[in-house]
Structure 1
Amino acid sequence: MKLKNGKMRKMMTVSLAATMALGLLAGCSGAKTPVSNQEKVLRIGVLYGGNMDDSYFRQQYTDIYEFDRKNVKIEIVPAINQSDWRYNDGSEPYKEPDYLDGMKKIMTGSNPVDVVVTDVSVLKQLIQENMLKQLDPLVQEDKFDTSDFVPAVIDGIKDLGEGSLYALTPSFSSSALFYNKKLLSDAGVEPPTDKMTWDDVFNLAKRLAKGSGKDRVYGFSFNRYMGNDPFWDMQYTYMAPLQLRMYDEKAETMTVESPQWIKAWDTISNLVKEEVIPNNNNVNYDENWTPISNDMFLSGKVAMMISESYYINEIADANTNAAKIKDYTPVDWDVVTLPTHPEKPDIGGNIYLNNTFAINTNAPNPESAWDYIKFIAGEDWAKLKSRSNSYEMVARKSYIQPRQGLSYNIGAFYNIKPVPPTNPKDDKLKQEKRGLYYVENLGRTYFQEVLDKKKSSTEALKDWSEKGNKMLQEIKLNPKTEFQEDGTPYIPEDNVSAAAGLSSKG
């Protein structure tokens, strides 16, 4: 359930054809239309948006509801106004927005929002601060069926509330391990299976890697793109289920000198050095460009790789247009769940819940808010969106079907528990202490030294820890501290006066 890039909109055109809407007139989700015909305003708080353009969110989540509930008018209220940075003339330094703080502001005050739509990291903090209404009593009272929800989705949300339900979501996005059947068959390698360990997958990858130069076929890749960065790939995918920290919760002490960190660096660096995993420095680009040149999986340069569910559309599109692509043979493929670590069995899914719907405890219209959430998380919405949503999967299992009329292991995208969300306090810490970015990115430099065989993982992690501790102390003395490439601390000009004020206070 990660969200580093989850806050970025997946822009697409959504057509709400009249024929689809008519099927919902009898009342979506089996939910009863409120008895009162009095006109109501339902205010929905979202993480970000603009003053004028909320068409994407409305097309996705509210137009059909308003069409069915004639007496309800919906207002979209963004926690962060994107226009603030879009029209920044540069006179003000860019500051990463605080989504949690912004959401809390629109949930309180004289005109609070009724419904809260957010990602799981912000959702978790709102639950912990008792700002959301528990949904379990409402679910029981209305006999709202949640048994059809994908377990990884519904259980993942319940885990945030320590077993209680504070939100529902109509859809999710997920990743799986794609594999090229022909490359495996030619190498005499058995296909991967669901819930394999990372070590098992890497052992298969070693048997699949072959060739040299531009003919090199890699056994495994963390993504399909030519430009791979194994350091960040390792951080966000391989190490994420282990929840290893670079530094403590106060950002005062490095925590990378541990057996788990050493094992992770040893494992991935060895695979890169053996060219089992591609690295931007060892990939040979084909000079003859084709529409699939930058895609390592479609171009047959990698046998197994991780990608999102919507990638299926791209494979299908390429295979359909194979005759138009020079030297391209349609890929015969399938998927299995992402690998897991023995110490974290069943956890490893890159399942993203970008839009969870909850009720503000201060909601002026809690009944209408619950009616809306029942609607958006109901069966009729899932049935409709299972035909039109190509970027996410609906959360109800009954309506999850293979795309493009294909046959593949679709359960691979949801039959595994998601990685727990990041703590929003960590994100806020990075906003307040921008120098932490340099501490983190320094690890990439030391990891490269391991790849270059200049240092062992143990030595590199020790050096990173020592240098990082010095940088963390500089940040502790002055949170405005940033660093040059060589690690030399400095205070940006915009913060010099603030720094002087801190010094005078001693």
Structure 2
Amino acid sequence: MMAKNRKLQKVLTVSLIATFGMGLLAGCNGGKAPASKEEKVLRIGVLSGGYDDSYFRQQYTDIYEFTNQNIKIEIVPAIDQSQYRYNDGTEEYVQPDYLESMKKIMTGSNPVDIVVSDTSTLKQLIQENLLKQLDPLMQEDKFETTDFVPAVIDGIRDLGDNQIYALSPSFSSSALFYNKKMFTDANIDFPTDKMTWDEVFNLARRLTKGEGKDRVYGFSFNRYRGSDPYWDMQTYVSALQMKTFDDKAETMTVNTPQWVKIWETMSKLSKDKIIPDNASLEMDSGENWNAISSDLFLSGKVAMTIGESYYVNEIADANDNAAKIKNYTPIDWDVVTIPVHPEKPDIGGNIWLNNTFSINSSAPNAETAWDFLKFINSEEWAKLKSRGSYEMVARKSFIQPKQGQTYNIQAFYLLKPLPPSNPKDDKMMMEKPGLYSITNSGRSSFQEVIDNKKTPEEALKDWETKGNKMLQEIKNNPKTQFQEDGTPFVPEVSGAARAG
């Protein structure tokens, strides 16, 4: 009898899945049955992958395959990461060229139908006319984008000169979390959306209090102990798209009034201990670790911090388990947008379109590819995936506060994403790996400002001089890299690598 019941339960479960799947399919195809039952292979090109593509399939393709039994999906990585798992160190690591590798699987003898990429690669593929414009297909099928988050759809339009060459079913985002009680206790109004960085920093000064281990900081660029003001500064300057050196990587560009102002602002916040640093937040040897001890916001060490959208769940979990956490009081919190710069009031540095889906202009199965894109960007798909917590779905109708909470959820999608990096810059960084050391070399100069050994002007001039020497070394030999002290060296190429 039990075996019979289990068999019946299994049949019912499969039936429910099938019913659900057909509902999705009907919703995505306007209730029409698929035009053909011909067996087809839909090939999806991704930037990187390898031995296990189960996560990608669970996220994007399993349901489509289930509801389209005649279609088999193949995942084709532009860069097969499996090759690096077995490198024993005898071969030199060569930074892969993702763009060129993607173009190969798009233009070869068996081209992929769909391209999944980041915005930087997407922009270059658009410029090289390698992708199919989606606007005509959307108009023909009356595929509306009015429900899409502006940060997503406008960001995509910007990449295509106001035309759409891709769709993204989800996105990642951050916002400014704040402790409401700290503001109320200090008799300070809560922050609001689209405040400038200077306005937020002024609030942080008013909220900072205490000394030593009891100090409460007004603001932190992230919620983790171990903050570094120099690297935190990258979040502050990202929307300004500040350059460290010129487009040819020949001359430093940091000795400017704008860089001086940035270093003045950031160094003063650090020196005045408005933001935390490594030394001020080291845990005592006798301090017991618990689930919130390394979290500055949950442990009450900062009044405002930048956090990802999934941080909402971590706060809720801590509050729900407050009775189990020693010396923890549930936090009353809310969020507003990431601060902005006055010259770019609608752009935030913490919105990412991680996976954009496009159709290869040479796709053998372009019609099926479009059907798949409609499917994963449909209302039905968004409704299903909105239960997840890591990324947010692109359709506003299905972006709701988690677990019955109430907070300013639009803060996560009010701003537009940063313009993507220039693929030419990415390629240059790949061909000249020593360039990564140029940015790192500024850290010691910035520390001298914090230590009151130099003014921002003096430190930036020193960084300029040091950086120009490093750039010259790289110009003489593009393979030049640098040690911690700035000493140049050229990595030896192993015999195996030379033979290859």
Q: 2:263 aligns with which of 262, 265, 288?
A: 265
Question: What amino acid maps onto 1:25 in structure 2?
Answer: M
Whole-angstrom CA distance in 1 between matches of 2:457 and 2:173: 34
Deviation at 1:486, TM superposition (A): 2.3
Whole-angstrom CA distance in 2 between matches of 1:424 and 1:217: 42
2:133 aligned residue: 134
Deviation at 1:498, TM superposition (A): 11
8 Å contact from structure 1 (residues 231, 447) kept in 2: yes
* 1:305 partnered with 2:305: yes
Whole-angstrom CA distance in 1 between matches of 2:330 and 2:16: 35
Percent of aligned positions that are identical = 70
1:305-324 aligned at under 5 Å gives the runs 305-324=305-324
1:280 aligned residue: 278
Question: What amino acid maps onto 1:337 in structure 2?
Answer: T
2:389 aligned residue: 390
SS in 1 for 2:280: coil
* 1:42 partnered with 2:42: yes
Deviation at 1:281, TM superposition (A): 2.2
Distance of aligned partners of 1:263 and 1:323 in 2 relative to their CA distance in 1, 3 Å threshold? same
1:30 aligned residue: 28
Question: What amino acid maps onto 1:178 in structure 2?
Answer: F
SS in 2 for 1:227: coil
Whole-angstrom CA distance in 2 between matches of 1:104 and 1:485: 36
1:82-121 aligned at under 5 Å gives the runs 82-121=81-120
Distance of aligned partners of 1:222 and 1:496 in 2 relative to their CA distance in 1, 3 Å threshold? farther
Whole-angstrom CA distance in 1 between matches of 2:427 and 2:445: 26
Deviation at 1:496, TM superposition (A): 11
Superposed CA deviations along residues 262-290 of structure 1, whole A, max 9, x for unmatched, are: 11111011001100001112224251222
2:250 aligned residue: 252
Greater Cα offset, 61-70 or 97-106: 97-106
Greater Cα offset, 398-407 or 489-498: 489-498
1:445 aligned residue: 444
Deviation at 1:488, TM superposition (A): 2.1
Distance of aligned partners of 1:316 and 1:22 in 2 relative to their CA distance in 1, 3 Å threshold? farther
Deviation at 1:430, TM superposition (A): 1.3
8 Å contact from structure 1 (residues 169, 395) kept in 2: yes
1:469 aligned residue: 468
Q: Which has the larger radius of gyration?
A: 2
Residues matched between the structures, number: 481
Deviation at 1:462, TM superposition (A): 0.7
2:7 aligned residue: none
Deviation at 1:166, TM superposition (A): 0.3
Question: What amino acid maps onto 1:251 in structure 2?
Answer: A
8 Å contact from structure 2 (residues 91, 496) kept in 1: no
Greater Cα offset, 30-39 or 487-496: 487-496
TM-score (norm 2): 0.93
Whole-angstrom CA distance in 1 between matches of 2:431 and 2:495: 16
SS in 1 for 2:112: coil
SS in 2 for 1:194: coil
1:276-425 aligned at under 5 Å gives the runs 276-286=274-284, 287-387=287-387, 389-425=388-424
SS in 1 for 2:69: coil
Deviation at 1:41, TM superposition (A): 0.5
8 Å contact from structure 1 (residues 197, 341) kept in 2: yes
Deviation at 1:135, TM superposition (A): 0.4
Distance of aligned partners of 1:229 and 1:119 in 2 relative to their CA distance in 1, 3 Å threshold? same
Whole-angstrom CA distance in 2 between matches of 1:450 and 1:219: 21
Structure 1: unaligned runs, 5 residues or longer: 1-15, 500-506
8 Å contact from structure 1 (residues 393, 400) kept in 2: yes
1:243 aligned residue: 241
Whole-angstrom CA distance in 2 between matches of 1:192 and 1:420: 26
Whole-angstrom CA distance in 2 between matches of 1:349 and 1:423: 16
Structure 2: unaligned runs, 5 residues or longer: 1-12
Distance of aligned partners of 1:110 and 1:223 in 2 relative to their CA distance in 1, 3 Å threshold? same
8 Å contact from structure 1 (residues 430, 436) kept in 2: yes
Distance of aligned partners of 1:118 and 1:498 in 2 relative to their CA distance in 1, 3 Å threshold? closer
8 Å contact from structure 1 (residues 257, 462) kept in 2: yes
Distance of aligned partners of 1:247 and 1:21 in 2 relative to their CA distance in 1, 3 Å threshold? farther
8 Å contact from structure 1 (residues 29, 381) kept in 2: no
- The 4+ residue runs of structure 1 with deviation greater than 3 A are 16-22, 495-499
8 Å contact from structure 1 (residues 133, 166) kept in 2: yes
Whole-angstrom CA distance in 2 between matches of 1:373 and 1:28: 15
Whole-angstrom CA distance in 2 between matches of 1:359 and 1:346: 29
Whole-angstrom CA distance in 2 between matches of 1:380 and 1:309: 22
8 Å contact from structure 2 (residues 177, 336) kept in 1: yes
Deviation at 1:89, TM superposition (A): 1.1
8 Å contact from structure 1 (residues 247, 253) kept in 2: yes
Whole-angstrom CA distance in 2 between matches of 1:231 and 1:373: 41
SS in 2 for 1:375: helix
SS in 2 for 1:152: helix
2:190 aligned residue: 191
Distance of aligned partners of 1:190 and 1:496 in 2 relative to their CA distance in 1, 3 Å threshold? farther
Whole-angstrom CA distance in 1 between matches of 2:221 and 2:178: 12
Whole-angstrom CA distance in 1 between matches of 2:19 and 2:447: 58
Superposed CA deviations along residues 211-247 of structure 1, whole A, max 9, x for unmatched, are: 1111110000000000101111111x11011011001
8 Å contact from structure 2 (residues 26, 33) kept in 1: no
Deviation at 1:380, TM superposition (A): 0.4
TM-score (norm 1): 0.92
RMSD: 1.8
Deviation at 1:484, TM superposition (A): 2.4
Distance of aligned partners of 1:154 and 1:17 in 2 relative to their CA distance in 1, 3 Å threshold? farther
8 Å contact from structure 1 (residues 171, 393) kept in 2: yes
